[in-house]
Every structure is written in C-alpha cells, then in structure tokens.
Amino acid sequence: MKNQELANIFYEIADYLTMEDEVFRPLAFKKAAVSLETMKENIEEIYKKGGIPALKEISGVGKNIAEKIEEYLKTGRIKCCEDLKKKTPIDIQELIAVEGLGPKKIKFLYQKLKIKNLKDLEKASKKHEIAPLFGFGEKTEKNILQGIEFLKTSKGRFLLGEILPLVKEIAEKLKNLKQVKKISIAGSVRRMKETIGDVDFLVASNKPAQIMDFFVSLPEVIKIWSKGKTKSSIRLKNGTDMDLRIVPEKSYGAALQYFTGSKEHNIALRKIAMTKGLKLNEYGLFRGSVKIAGENEKEIYKKLGLQWIPAEIRENQGEIEMAQKNNLPKLIEQNDIKGDLHCHSNWSDGENTIEEIAKQAVSQGYEYIGISDHTKFLKIANGLDEKKLAQQKKEIDKINVKCFTPLDAKLSNGARMSNVKCRILQGCEANILKDGSIDIKNETLKKLDFVIAGVHSSFKMPKEQMTERIIKAMQNPFVDIISHLTGRLLKHREEYEIDFDKILACAKETGTILEINANPYRLDLNAQNIRKTKEMGIKMIISSDSHHKEQLNFIEFGVSQARRGWAEKKDIVNTFSLKKLLDFLK
C-alpha cells in the first residue's frame, strides 16, 4: 500500500516546515499523515474510484494535500518535498530519530556546527562541541550520545506495527496463487515480537517455480538477494527483507515448526526428541529412517509428548516444561476484549469526536469505551483542566443518552444492564508530576469513572526518585491505572529507570492496575514484566492509547504482547463485563 509511503513523506515535509518556523502547515501535514497511516482503505483505490473529491473526504485532507497525494500517485514524487530538501541539505529523518532532538534544535545545530547527519552529530558530541551551545549543556550532550548508541543497537529491525499490514497483504496475494496449497507467516512475525529482523513466509506446493517468479517480482521489490526452488530472499522499498520457503505438503508442519522458532525453543525441542530416541529437523520427526510426523505442526508437539505451544511463547522460557506437564496457561485472545479505557478525543490531542470514537467502539463489538484525555499539565496536548473535565462529563452523558445507554441505567440492576449496547465512560490520563502528585484535584478525579495516571515529563530521573514518584501516584486513592509504566519508545527511547519489583509490591498493596499499552511504538509493559505482574496476581489492562478512531485496532498488538507475557483472560480487566469492571474499579 502507498498509504505508509505517503505518510512518511508528509511527516518529513512537516519537519522541514517546522524547521522554517512554520506553525500551521506542519500540523496539517501531520494530521493527513496520521489519517493515511490508520485508514484501512487503500489510498490508490480511493483515488482511482473517486479522484480528488474522494481524497478530500478523508479526515485531515483538504484541497492542497489531496493534490499532493495525486502528484505522488501519478509521478512517484512530491516536488515541494524535494525542494525543501534541496534548500536545507540535512538528513532530518536520521537526526529526528535521536531522542530529544526536534526540528528546531536540528536547524540550530546545522547553523552553528554544520551538522547534517548522524555521523556529524556523533563526531561533534564526542568532541564536546555541543555542550557549550545555547540551550544544550553537558546533560543534553550526554543524552544525545546515548540516543545515538541506542539507535545503533536497534538499527536494521522494524517495528511489527510498521510492517504487519504489508506482510498480511503479501501473504494474501500468495494465497491467491493456484499453485499455493498452504501458506503461513513464520519467524518472529508469527511469534508477534515487537521488532522484526526479517519476514519469513512458508508455502506448501509442488509447483514452486511460478510462485518464486511471482514473489521476486512483487511491485515493492528493489533487490533480489537470491532466487531458488526452495528459498528466495528479497528486499522491499521500505528496507525490509523477506524470505520465502517452499516445501512439499508432507513436510509443511515440520517446516512451520522449524521456521517459526525461536532458535532457542527449537534447540530445546531437538534435545527432547533426542532423549526419546527421535530426530527433529525441518523435514519431519523421525525414528531411525521412519518419519513419524511432518505434515502437521500439532502432531510434532504431540509425538514429542507436549501440548501444542502457541507461537507467541516459543522462547524457551519455561513453556516446554509446562507443556510436558500439560500445564500451559490458556492465553488471552482477541475476542476476550470487551472494551478499551485509553482513548484520546479531540477534546485534547485526539483526531475524533467522542461520538465518532464511541461508534467505532460499537462496530468493534465493545461493551464500553473510556475517554481518557490528557490533563492540564500537558499544554502541548491541549490538556483539560477541572472545568473542562466537568464540561466533558456533560457531553458524554448527552451522547450516552442519545446513542447508547439511558443515563439512569442502574449498574446494580442486572436486568437493565443487558440492554446496554456500549457505554461511554469518562476518565482521564492525568500526569504524574515530578514530585509524584497528580495535576488534577482529587475532588475532580473522584467524579470520573476511572483515572489513568502516567509520566509524561522529566524522564531522566535517578532510579530511586522515579520509583518514589510513581509509587506516590499509585497511593493516590483515585488513581486506578498506571499508563505505559517504563516509558520506552521502541527504536527511539530507552525505558526510564525504575525499581520494577518495588512498584509491583505497591501495585499489589494499592490494587493499582498496570497498563499494557498496545501502541506499536510502546508495547509497554514488555513481555517479561507482564509475566512478573501476572505471577504477583496483579491485574493489567490492554489499552490502545488511540489518538484516532482507527487506532482502536492497536489492541491487536496489545493482545499479542499480553500473550507473549503468558497473560490469561482473568489477568486482564478489560475482558470483564461492564458491570464487573465498574465494580472492580470501585
């Protein structure tokens, strides 16, 4: 799909324009970029069917941007972006990836030190040329160096969220070929890891030649690493590498098991086979020269004396021992989710009205949807103060009456609750200030259906202090949920330092819920922390943190992340019915 390519160019234009001190045009381009990224429809098709007028129907797309989209679809480039690049010869995409650097600082660094790219930046920081500049200082220089190091270690890996739509699209194309009998996505994508090295497809067929021809001539291909009858490798325009392996149907299950990985899981499995006098490889499970399983993946696990193990937990972290004892947890599933409590509306920095969000929630089959806008400390996100929150409550009550539930629906009255289709709840995502206090008065928090609190400022604090800060917020009796606890941004910003065990102990004591933030850039908690939280019997919630109604779909990534952390339905509070959830929040 061209959607993401266009979105990336719009983000780039927005950055260049910000560098030129423009205010409104960057916002317009960013808005259009978010729409492009989140819409399900293919932009090319919209244009083919309805031309410019159809493009203008898209949220955030006006005449000017519609014309840019047309230009790109027709010519493969956008002239104004290329002109901006010529005018300022800075590799802004490379530099903006460094945590703490925005367009303004980048421009300043260019003017003062002629820094054009990451290499220049690294050199200058190592020579301590950055610290003396106005507005920078020793600390910023150190942060920049750390940021560069971090980028180096995560280089070459892609976010699952960035590539999954394209992977599914290609899998669908392959599936439609008549020579393809079976197809799976394997490797780290099947395991739903948060970042992906390369994509692995597996196909069963006895006519591989035409499939390989098709694969290496996909429109997105820019390089063919290798092409053979059983394996081909390609690189796509966006930089991702993809492998396709084709095997006969009779060894499809064994190949799927092998190429799903992880490597550590496979090694442990082969050892088990050996202790049983068997041999396991990508062709099958063998006793001597007799194949005892191969066509079906489940059969392989069964013959090894194991329960079938869901791909998300194949990491050799104890899953094999549990499967031997027939004791694997029953992992949470997508359709266990009954609602979402972390959504930003256009009252703060979200794109959509509350009503639009609620309608989307209904279409996803949710029982409840929580609006949790930013609060006043976050001025750049248009955070709400006490007065605005009270106004918002009135608006939510109105929409609930108009579209959904009668206001007087008694929650204790089970019979009436069964009529409720989807209920809008009001919460907020308040800020945990530097000293651990919350930026909204308790008497206001008390009136909300739920309160999320999160750290959105002063990330670089000593571990002790950051831990105390979050603990103090959890001790506030009105705080129900802590959002994105470690603050990491994948490929962008490290976690801040916290004493996770201390925080867990406090969550247990105060009954605070920890969020599994499903935004593909966050996926915070990570799998290991989810598992620890579950083992302590502390409840979690999977939240989209959406700023656009289509982003409610981020939940998919949160559910996979929860599964990677061994979470079950009972561990996750937004699998509860509305009534049970509200009782629990009380």
User: Which parts of this chain interact with ligand DGT (CB under 6 A)?
Assistant: 187-188, 196-198, 200, 258-259, 261-263, 266-267
What count of residues does the chain have?
Answer: 586
| C-beta closer to ligand DGT: residue 196 or 203 | 196
Are 410 and 416 in contact, with CB atoms under 8 Å apart?
A: yes
Kindly write down the DSSP assignment for every residue of 440-483, as one continuous string. Answer: S-HHHHTTSS--EEE--S-----HHHHHHHHHHHHHSTT--EE-
Taking CB within 5 to 8 Å according to partner kind, which of Ca ion, ligand DGT, none is near residue 267? ligand DGT
> Which of ligand DGT, Ca ion, none lies near 261, with the C-beta cut-off 5 to 8 A by kind?
ligand DGT
Least gap, CB of 261 to ligand DGT (angstroms)? 2
Among the listed ranges 55-63, 111-119, 187-195, 331-339, the one in contact with Ca ion (CB under 5 A) is 187-195
Residue with smaller CB distance to Ca ion, 200 or 524? 200
Pairing of strands 195-196, 231-236: unpaired
- Sheet (strand 540-543) strand order: 339-343, 368-374, 423-431, 452-454, 481-482, 513-517, 540-543
The reply on whether position 520 binds Ca ion by CB under 5 A is no
- Minimum CB distance to ligand DGT smaller for 258 or for 478: 258
Count the helices and strands in the chain (H runs, E runs): 25, 17
Query: Which distant-in-sequence residues (6+ apart) come within 8 Å of 321 by Cβ?
Result: none
Q: Find the shortest distance in angstroms from Cβ 286 to ligand DGT.
A: 16
> CA-to-CA distance for 551 and 261, rounded, in angstroms?
30
Strands of 248-303, DSSP E: 279-281, 284-287, 290-293
For 50, residues 6+ apart whose C-beta sits below 8 A from its C-beta are 57
Shortest Cβ 243–Ca ion spacing (Å): 4
Member of 12, 122, 243, 571 binding Ca ion (CB under 5 A): 243
Nearest to ligand DGT of 130, 269 (CB atom): 269
Task: Name which position in 147, 187, 520, 565 contacts Ca ion (CB under 5 A).
Answer: 187
Cα–Cα separations (whole angstroms), residue 1 to 17, 37, 240, 484, 567: 26, 10, 14, 30, 33
Residue nearest to ligand DGT (CB): 261
Q: Which is nearer to Ca ion, 188 or 431 (CB)?
A: 188
Between 202 and 424, CB nearer to ligand DGT: 202
DSSP strand pairing (284-287 vs 290-293): antiparallel
Site residues for Ca ion, 194-223, by CB under 5 A, read: 198, 200
25 vs 235, beta carbon nearer ligand DGT: 235
CB under 8 Å to 207, separation ≥6 — which residues? 179
Q: Report the distance separating Cα 422 and Cα 429, nearest Å.
A: 21
- The pair of structure tokens assigned to 118 is 């990451």
Q: In whole angstroms, how close is the CB of 208 to Ca ion at the nearest point?
A: 18
Residues 6+ apart with CB under 8 A from 318: none
Amino acid symbol at 532: K
In sequence order, what are the residues at sequence separation of 6 or more whose Cβ sits closer than 8 angstroms to the Cβ of residue 462? Answer: 497
Contacted by 248, from ligand DGT, Ca ion, none: CB < 5 to 8 Å by type:
none
Give least dist CB 259 to ligand DGT, A: 4
The interface partner of residue 263, options being ligand DGT, Ca ion, none and the CB cut-off 5 to 8 Å by kind, is ligand DGT
Query: Of Ca ion, ligand DGT, none, which one sits near residue 262, judging by CB under 5 to 8 A according to partner kind?
Result: ligand DGT
Q: How far is the CB of 162 from ligand DGT (least distance, A)?
A: 13
Please state the closest distance from residue 257 (CB atom) to Ca ion, in A: 15
The one-letter code for the residue type at 498 is I
Q: Which stretch binds Ca ion (CB under 5 A): 87-95, 235-243, 357-365, 402-410?
A: 235-243
Q: How far is the CB of 200 from ligand DGT (least distance, A)?
A: 5
Nearest CB to Ca ion, comparing residues 189 and 485: 189
Q: Which is nearer to Ca ion, 39 or 216 (CB)?
A: 216
Contact residues: Ca ion, CB under 5 A: 187-188, 198, 200, 243
